[in-house]
Chains A and B, each alone.
Chain A
Amino acid sequence: MTFSPQLEERFAKMLTRYPEGRTRSAVVPMLIYGQDEVGAVTKELIEEIARRCKVTPLQVDEVVGYYSMLHRKPQGKFHVQVCTNISCQLVGGEELYEHAKKKLGLGHKETSADGLFSLEEVECMGACSWAPAVEINYDFHHFVTPEKLDQLIDGLRKAH
């Protein structure tokens, strides 16, 4: 399995960062960067990372279920993450999440039929003082209102 030149370069660098014989340390970063390019943690990705990190595929596989950002099935092109944890809850985060469900016609961890959007109710993302917060892929959006979320989603739909 080969990756884009940029990712190959990143992976090569990652494997040299840790003390000698400790390439297993690169497993989690390689999984998340690999997933971003491949679209999901596939069997092939697991085997490839295992080969490069010199561990068994099982040692890679067992961490996948532990980390909430790793997923075995593809998510939408735009993964909408709405925080409902306490700081967001107090200023309308739960209502915002309900609004997002209706707007996208999706439930928690569901992906639209056209593969464009997926939705997830997430735990604290570290945007508490600028709540309610939404992260779409890796982009943070602060002080999000239902209207602002509609604009964001409509904008992404149009731009696509």
Chain B
Amino acid sequence: MKPPKPISTKSKKKPAELALIAVVISWIFLLILMPLYGIAKEVFHNGLHACFASLNEPAAVHAFYLTLWLTVGAVAVNTTLGIILALVLVRQEFKGKLLLDGLIDLPFAVSPVVAGFMLITLFGPHGWIGSLFEARDIKIIYAFPGMMIATLFVTFPFVVREVVPVLREFGVDQEEAAFVLGASKWQTFWQVTLPSIKWGLIYGVTLTMARSIGEFGAVLVVSGAIINKTQSATLYVHQKFTDFDYGGAFAASIVLAMLSFFTLIGMQYIQKKKV
């Protein structure tokens, strides 16, 4: 067992160390905190009430609802599939597993615009899959389904990536014990496996939510940003901005920023539980 790591107490730091701490704190302060201040200033300047007032227009309400549904969908689908995929990756051996593992990270590495473009190519009216639906007059691109797929794409890796290490560490011992005691696979999953990955799972879901709410590039490309029809909250902000309606853009941004804050707090809380 390692001896406890002694942490420098305030009294014992050398000037060079203090300088380093000061520099790092200033960097974080300037880079991260300042922009937040910009938004906060706006809120206090105009008052929250005024902000929400400008958000009463139907386009705004619709945009936020759309974001809500996209988030719900992304969480539902990617959590389920994320867990299944994690189980497959950790518990099964097969050829090509390594490749699969790498592919999962692709949505992280790809630019959102490129992602959107790939999806248009596939699901657009002339795409391999899109054309099949086009024949039945079902729109995927420039409609909700397309936006849903885009959101699924960019949020795909989160749950898997968070559950896999937890599952790996958990090991099969407890599951085997359950089998021996007579539990079925399903019972074992619900009562033994799932509780063990609980916090990793919740963290992954939180990240998924944050990303769905915040996704812009892919959804923009795929949706055509048709006001009141295919405009999510982030698209709404963008449109207001390009229309020089700064008030509207800020108002919506503030709401999104507040959502992010709660997400961030949630993330910190869950991270502690994960350990």
Partners in one complex: no
State the A residues within 8 Å of B (CB): none
Interface residues of B (CB under 8 A from A): none
